[in-house]
Amino acid sequence: MDNTFGKNIIPENEHERIAALKRYKILGSPAENAFDHVAKLAAKIFAVPIALVSMVDTEEVFFKANVGMGKVRTTPRGISLCSLAVLDPEVTVFEDARIEPCLLANPLVAGEFGLQFYAGAPITTPDGMLIGTLCVVDKKPRTFSTQDRAILANLASIVIDEMELRLSAIEEMEKQQHLAALSSFNEQRLRDMVMSAPIGMTIMKGRDFIVEIANARMFEIWNRTEEQVLGKGILDVFPELLDQPFPEMLTEIFDTGKTISMPEIEVAIASAAGHRNIYVAFQYAPLFNAANEVDSVMATVADITDRVIARKLLEESEEELQTLNEELHATVEELAAANEEMVTTNEELTETYQNLQLISLEMELSEQRFRNMIEQSPVAMLVLRGDALIFDVVNANMLQLIDRDKDIIGMPLLSGMPEIAGQPIFDTIYEVYHTGKPYYGFEVPVKIRREGKELTGFFNVTYTPLLENGIITGILQVATEVTEQIRSRQELQRAEEMLRFSVESAQIGTWFIDLKKAEFNPSATMKQLFGYKADQPMNYAAILDRIDDESKDAVIEAVDKTVHKGDPLNVEFKVTGLNDQKSRWLRAIGKLDQDHEGELFHFSGVILEITEQKQDEIRKNDFIAMVSHELKTPLTSLKGYMQLLGVKNRNNEDGFTTTAISKGNIQITKMTAMINGFLNVSRLESGKILLQKQDFKLNQLLKETIEEIDLISSDHEFKFFPGEEITIHADQEKIGQVLNNFLTNAVKYSPQGKTIEITSKEVDGWVQVSVKDEGMGISAGDAARLFDRFYRVNSASAQNISGFGIGLYLCAEIIHRHNGKIWVDSELNQGAVFHFSLPLSHTY
């Protein structure tokens, strides 16, 4: 079994398998006893707390029957073990899921649910598709024998048998619904034909001859009203017909299914004025139902009383009789033609009935597909029907969007969502329904009710009229809420306005360079800082012309690193204004931005004036340099006097004087180192510190430095682990200064008697030096700023240790000017290891 379970394994025949599952119309259906009984039986047989009848859909697993899992109906396919069971036609068993490699990261096994045992028999269709499982689950390991597997597989076969029976019942029910719909349509067409016929027509249903429909001409012949006849048996309305041949003829039609025609017959009909005899020509034609049985009789009747009376009056005249006979014959021919036409019409109706069956089936399937499309749509959709805009179909996403449940289906729009009354959106819906013009709205504000509160949301909506035979019957609505996007955009706009206001207030210039179009766009403030007027053009070359020579190379190098390496831009430089010729110190900060494809497409940033800050720094550095120089003169004299005292005290056995002179020399050495540190900082920041590179052996320098420190720090043990001898090309004095700082710090911050380890080695083309102590250690927050100028660790254990926070800053600047790296590894109370490395490729 593949151990990449969480990657949603898909069978090769997934498309056909899902189609087979959909065919059973079982997804999302409510619980049914037949399937519940099988799940309960499986739980009882195997004595497990959980048994499920699961259908594995594209994205989720639907539980048709659920024993032991509460009201859960679905679970994501990606974590369900049933998605594994449909890969194998045999029963899938995990007797202890905790030791299965493919299940180690499964949330059901590794999470709170604690699944340990699983057995799933695939539910297989007659055509071999594995569409789901009958599975049993336990939260403790179990053994599952071959006989157990056979029993579970037999129970799974019962499930597919039940599904087949269920599908047959559904198809039969749908068929009856189609037939009923088609029959209704055919009946309506027949009614329309009867009502529009120019001669008397009626339809009598069943052997009770119930009058279902009759046209106006028929009521004239009967001399009755609709209320007197419709819905009643013809023999009940006209009992006088019982003694006449008509009942026998009607019965014969139901028995034989054959049409009866009479060109002339006398009929006695009773009325309020008494009995009257009329003469009619008629035809009784059978109407068949879907089972091809006689269901009704359609009677076509013409009142020929006037013609018959006229014929009898003219019988005495042979010539007149002949003429009348011809007229009667013509009438009979007309009736025969009418009868033939009615027979043809009946045949056409039968054919139409069959065609309508197919059309009705297609319409029913189309309607179902339409509803399924809406219900399964990943976006919010609904259908409103009729003038009252009745909620007809509303999918789950739309219910969630409008904070309603399925109870609104069947309700008018204003009853289900009264809050939209009086809002422009309701007028829009009304207009779409009555004009048939679709509407497309973007970021439409609508007041809606959510969790009992009314709020304004923003939506992208479409309203599409639905047509049937050219008549608008409803509206399809699709909606997407964009409230959060609108609010985020508004917040962004407010933030941009505040940023713009802040930038303008702080006199900060901005620029934007489109690297693809090679366009440079400076702000008016930036132009002002370079001495340009707001309407004067200024490009990148013009900027370089305004930068002083002593700063220009540093700016070009910084920009080149940003453009070609992606490094952030942070550079200070001095400029002379174009129009005002004013000298200014500026600081530029910027970065490259990428497009959605990961390509660099623009370079932007800010620029601000730091003239006052820079002048303060220059004055401070000048002051430090001056004071340091002034202090060095008396300090040198003092050191000389201390050396003379030491010489004169050699023959003196006064121990106190010897100790005092020694301690005085130590303090003078510390003061000298401190003053030199300040001088180096001043030179570094003024650009006057230069590197005097030469070839020297690194291990020899390390050994000499360790020996010097050991002379004044006898309370610590130094261990040197030299690597392979390497000759480097660097400033030996400056590198020695770095080593001296590392070692003196290790001495200062380590308790007496502790060991200090020094190592050197070559690592991937770099020479690396490390100094490890067993001191108080450094926190992560302090380590990040340890190489900043004047930064000192602020802790109780470091308060009594002297220093100004310039030593490590100078070390970092020296190493960086050698294109090297400097860093520290440490944890609080765990000691520290200081490192620096130099690239061997740059040392020659």
pLDDT tens, residue by residue, 696-717 = 999 999 999 988 888 777 788 8
Q: Which of 780 and 132 is assigned the larger pLDDT? A: 132
Residue with tokens 């068929």: 175
How many residues does the structure list for the chain? 844
Q: What is the mean pLDDT of residues 593-599?
A: 63
Q: What is the mean pLDDT of residues 64-82?
A: 91
pLDDT band for position 172 (50/70/90)?
A: confident
Phi, psi of 437 (to 5 degrees): -95, 125
In this structure, is the dihedral angle defined by the CA atoms of residues 608, 612, 613 and 614, taken in order, positive or negative? positive
212 has a pLDDT exceeding 60: yes
Let me know: does 61 contact 151? Beta carbons within 8 Å: no
Range with the poorest average pLDDT among 115-119, 243-247, 606-610, 804-808: 804-808
Q: Which of 656 and 21 is assigned the larger pLDDT? A: 21
Please state, in angstroms and rounded to a whole number, the distance separating the CA atoms of residues 714 and 363: 102
551 has a pLDDT exceeding 50: yes
Helix 33-46 × helix 146-196 angle, to 10°: 180
Dihedral angle at the C-alpha atoms of 823, 825, 831, 837, nearest 10 degrees?
-40
Let me know: does 480 contact 379? Beta carbons within 8 Å: yes
Q: What is the mean pLDDT of residues 385-396?
A: 90
Residue with tokens 């048998």: 161
Per-residue pLDDT, 842: 47
Q: How far is CA 231 from the centre of its chain?
A: 61
How large is the C-alpha radius of gyration of the chain?
Answer: 51
Per-residue pLDDT, 55: 96
Let me know: does 716 contact 750? Beta carbons within 8 Å: yes
Alpha-carbon distance values, 147 to 38, 86, 134, 237, 564 (Å)? 18, 21, 16, 75, 71
Phi, psi of 545 (to 5 degrees): -65, -30
Q: What are 567-577's pLDDT values in tens digits?
A: 888 888 889 98
For the chain, the average pLDDT equals 82
Alpha-carbon distance values, 373 to 171, 369, 370, 381 (Å)? 20, 6, 5, 10
Three-state secondary structure call for residue 679: helix
Per-residue pLDDT, 844: 38
Model pTM above 0.85: no
Q: Which of 273 and 165 is assigned the larger pLDDT? A: 165
Q: What is the mean pLDDT of residues 272-297?
A: 85
- 462-501: b (≥16 Cβ within 10 Å) or e: bbbbbeeeeebebbbbbbebbbeebeeeeeeeeeeeeeee
pLDDT band for position 837 (50/70/90)?
A: very high
Let me know: does 91 contact 149? Beta carbons within 8 Å: yes
Q: What is the mean pLDDT of residues 342-362?
A: 57
Please state, in angstroms and rounded to a whole number, the distance separating the CA atoms of residues 502 and 505: 5
DSSP designation for 840: G
361 has a pLDDT exceeding 60: no
Helices (H) and strands (E) in the chain, counts: 24, 28
Alpha-carbon distance values, 776 to 755, 772, 798, 805 (Å)? 13, 12, 9, 17
DSSP designation for 161: H
Closest listed residue to residue 682, CA positions, set 736, 628, 731, 630: 628
- Exposed, middle or buried by CB within 10 Å (0-12, 13-18, 19+), for 285? buried
Per-residue pLDDT, 710: 83
| Edge-to-edge strand list for the sheet holding 294-303 | 210-214, 200-205, 294-303, 274-288, 260-271
DSSP H/E element including 192? helix 146-196
Could you give the residue ranges of the DSSP H alpha helices within 688-762? 698-712, 732-748
User: What would the DSSP string read from start to end of 591-645?
Assistant: EEEE-TTS-EEEEEEEEEE-HHHHHHHHHHHHHHHHHHHHHHHHHHHHHHHHHHH
Q: What are 453-509's pLDDT values in tens digits?
A: 888 989 999 999 988 878 998 999 999 888 888 888 877 777 766 666 656 665 688
Q: What is the mean pLDDT of residues 645-664?
A: 72
Per-residue pLDDT, 750: 86
Dihedral angle at the C-alpha atoms of 439, 442, 445, 450, nearest 10 degrees?
90
Three-state secondary structure call for residue 698: helix
Please state, in angstroms and rounded to a whole number, the distance separating the CA atoms of residues 810 and 742: 11
Terminal Cα-to-Cα distance of the chain (whole angstroms)? 59
514 has a pLDDT exceeding 90: no
Percent of the chain, pLDDT > 70? 79
Q: What share of the chain is helix, strand, coil (3-state, %, to 5)?
A: 45, 25, 25
800 has a pLDDT exceeding 90: no
Q: Which of 542 and 446 is assigned the larger pLDDT? A: 446
Per-residue pLDDT, 826: 87
- Establish how many alpha carbons lie within 13 A of residue 556's alpha carbon, considering only the half-sphere containing its beta carbon: 11
Let me know: does 428 contact 462? Beta carbons within 8 Å: no
> In the structure encoding, which two tokens stand for residue 426, read together?
């309701």
Let me know: does 769 contact 835? Beta carbons within 8 Å: yes
20 has a pLDDT exceeding 80: yes
Per-residue pLDDT, 805: 64
Q: What are 413-468's pLDDT values in tens digits?
A: 988 898 888 899 889 998 999 998 999 988 899 998 888 888 898 999 999 998 88
Three-state secondary structure call for residue 251: helix
**Which residues share a beta bridge with 576?**
583
Closest listed residue to residue 269, CA positions, set 295, 248, 246: 246
**Which residues share a beta bridge with 697?**
727
Per-residue pLDDT, 749: 83
Range with the poorest average pLDDT among 103-117, 142-156, 239-253, 788-802: 788-802
61 has a pLDDT exceeding 50: yes
Range with the poorest average pLDDT among 24-28, 415-419, 563-567, 796-800: 796-800
Neighbouring C-beta atoms of residue 270, cutoff 10 Å? 14
Please state, in angstroms and rounded to a whole number, the distance separating the CA atoms of residues 309 and 448: 79
